Amino acid sequence: MGAAALEVDAPDLRVGDQTARSPLGEGPGHLCASRRHLRILPQRGEPRARRCHPPPFRHNGPAMRLASLLGPDLQALKADPEALQAAFDEFHPEDVAELLEDLPIEQVADLVHALSSEAGADVIERLSPERQRVVLEAVDEERATELLTAMDPDDRVDFFEELEEDEVEAYLGRLDKEIVEETQELLAYDPETAGGLMTTEYVGLRPDMKVWEAVEEVRKIANEGEAETIYYLYVVGYGEKLLGVVSLRDLILSDPGQELADIMTEKVVWARPTDDQEDVAQKIARYDLAALPVVDDQDGMLGVVTVDDVVDVVIEEATEDAQMMGGVVPLEDAYFSTGLLEFVWKRGAWLIVLFLGQLLTATVMEQNQSTLRATMELAVFIPLIIASGGNAGSQSSTLIIRAMAVGEAQPGDWLKVFGREMVIGLALGLILGLMGFGRGWFAGETVDATALGIAVGMSILAIVTLSTIIGSLLPMLIQRAGLDPAVSSTPFIASVVDVLGLIVYFSVAQVILGMWV
């Protein structure tokens, strides 16, 4: 996966109704998250020496130097592991992984084998799932075991979730018992829940610890790489029960002789392991958190979900929704990693459904042939009628789907949404209807111009109002049924409105124009 970067203002961190000072300081600093590397950026107005998102490697100076290392220089460096490690320490693991995606697997395996276990694991964690699999199969068993051991627990689990059960068992058989138990515990959770996202590597401290003791403990944990984030320190009691949280900033600024119980924030925002990943992302965004603790039914700490994983979730969910709203079954892999047959299936499935829906449009027109033959001017306005309804329905559908995605609206709000969208639909329909009346009035030749204008205008008013209501309520109905509301995509709404628009148009025309078969 490519680098994911997030920049957010970092004001005071609000947890419950308490305020915990952000470890980024009091100024309007920024938090840059690129996978699991968090760093403080300059405040607004100051020059940025390093960007969250560097340009593609082919235009990036350091990455070009990295590319040069993978030529003849690599063979020389492989003879000196320390020099090789020093050379690659200059580059971000994300840049290394991006470049390794397109190299011959033998060269990638040699490089990963030559790096330290920690550096190699840091690179492998950023490779695509298929590339991870190939690389670990290319190195010997001992090296693969070392790399898997060095990987962060959540990334190790993400890799195992892409494998067959027998392959997972084979890898687990070579790992230490403690790591196996930790991995199996995380594998038991649905990958799209808080339990599936969390890592078990967090800083847990006793409430009776002095501040100076906690500082020493945090320094030790950070040096040994035993925690994925140290921005928040979790105060736990008997049975790992979560008692409170202390920000790193508060810890550093507190009196060394104080106990953690005196400086911790007791009202902590947390998640259950079964909470959906979208709910987790919303909590982290709402409370401006860098990490969210995950607790069991007895409030015992299970792990934490870090902001870098949430960035991945946001990108994944947005991509999935965008594909579904475009009438495509969500892709499991990147565009160029998806096979042609899979594309045909995932795009063709919805196209067939929409095609069958459009057959109803043809049926409606077939049943009104006599009306069309009697007044050919009616046919001229068919595209205008159905397009107006489809556009209005797609607008309201998109707005409601997004509102539900960010927690602004729920299926239980359907009555309130109905009232708002009906008023909006009537207003929009009236505006477009008046324009349609004018166009219809000028087109009247074989029939009364005023009657044709009224028929077109009233049809537009009716279909825009109806499609606006349908477009807003259909996503709620679909979510209430337990499905993704993005299923009510733009093509789907347009197909429904096409049929409805023709029925409304011909019905109104026959009444207004007084036509007979």
CA-derived radius of gyration, the chain? 30
Helix, strand, coil tally for the chain in percent (to 5) = 60, 10, 30
3-state secondary structure of 385: helix
Show the beta-strand stretches assigned E in 4-101. 5-9, 13-15, 18-20, 30-34, 37-41
Q: What is the pLDDT of residue 489?
A: 63
3-state secondary structure of 342: helix
3-state secondary structure of 118: helix
**Tokens (6 digits) for 26:** 């009091």
**Tokens (6 digits) for 349:** 């499935």
> What is this structure's pTM?
0.62
Could you tell me where the DSSP H helices lie in 306-381? 307-325, 340-367, 369-374, 377-380
**Tokens (6 digits) for 16:** 């419950």
Report phi then psi at 259, rounded to 5. Answer: -90, 155
Asked if 324 and 350 count as a contact pair (C-beta separation under 8 A), the reply is no
- Which residue type occupies 326? G
Tell me the C-alpha distance between 416 and 408, whole Å.
12
> So where are the chain's domains?
57-191, 335-513
Tell me the C-alpha distance between 46 and 33, whole Å.
19
Spatial CA neighbour of 438 closest among 384, 496, 490, 492: 384
Q: What is the pLDDT of residue 375?
A: 66
Place of tokens 């009236």: 430
**Tokens (6 digits) for 53:** 């998102």
Pairing status of strand 301-306 against strand 242-247: unpaired
Q: What is the pLDDT of residue 45?
A: 38
Spatial CA neighbour of 371 closest among 220, 484, 509, 238: 509
Show the beta-strand stretches assigned E in 10-107. 13-15, 18-20, 30-34, 37-41
CATH superfamily of domain region 57-191: MgtE N-terminal domain-like (1.25.60.10)
Q: What is the pLDDT of residue 81?
A: 67
Across 48-86, b (16+ Cβ under 10 Å) vs e yields eeeebebeebeebeebeebeebbeeebeebeeeeeebee
Beta-carbon contacts of residue 343 (< 8 Å; ≥ 6 apart): none
Which DSSP string corresponds to 265-319? Answer: B-S---B-TTSBHHHHHHHHHHTT-SEEEEE-TT-BEEEEEEHHHHHHHHHHHHH
Q: What is the pLDDT of residue 457?
A: 92
C-alpha to C-alpha distances, 212 to 184, 202, 237, nearest whole angstrom: 36, 19, 19
Asked if 424 and 385 count as a contact pair (C-beta separation under 8 A), the reply is no
Predicted confidence pLDDT, tens digits, the chain (517 residues): 433 333 333 334 333 333 333 333 333 333 333 333 333 333 333 333 333 334 444 444 555 555 555 555 556 666 666 777 777 777 788 888 887 777 788 878 877 877 888 888 888 888 888 888 888 988 888 989 999 999 988 889 989 988 888 889 999 999 999 899 989 989 999 988 999 999 888 999 999 999 999 999 999 988 887 778 888 999 999 889 999 999 999 999 999 999 999 999 999 999 999 999 888 988 998 898 999 999 999 999 999 999 888 888 888 777 777 777 776 777 777 777 777 888 788 787 777 877 887 788 778 877 777 766 656 777 888 889 888 998 899 889 888 988 887 778 888 899 999 999 999 999 999 999 999 998 888 876 656 778 888 889 999 999 999 999 999 998 898 888 877 777 666 677 878 888 888 888 888 888 887 753 4
**Tokens (6 digits) for 71:** 């030529």
H/E run at residue 233: strand 232-236
Asked if 234 and 203 count as a contact pair (C-beta separation under 8 A), the reply is yes
Q: How many CB atoms lie within 10 A of CB 8?
A: 15
Place of tokens 């009697």: 374
3-state secondary structure of 144: helix
Q: What is the pLDDT of residue 75?
A: 60
Q: How many CB atoms lie within 10 A of CB 239?
A: 10
Tell me the C-alpha distance between 517 and 514, whole Å.
10
Three-state SS sequence of 478-513: HHHCCCCHHHCCHHHHHHHHHHHHHHHHHHHHHHHH
Class of domain 335-513: mainly alpha
Q: How far is CA 159 from the centre of its chain?
A: 19
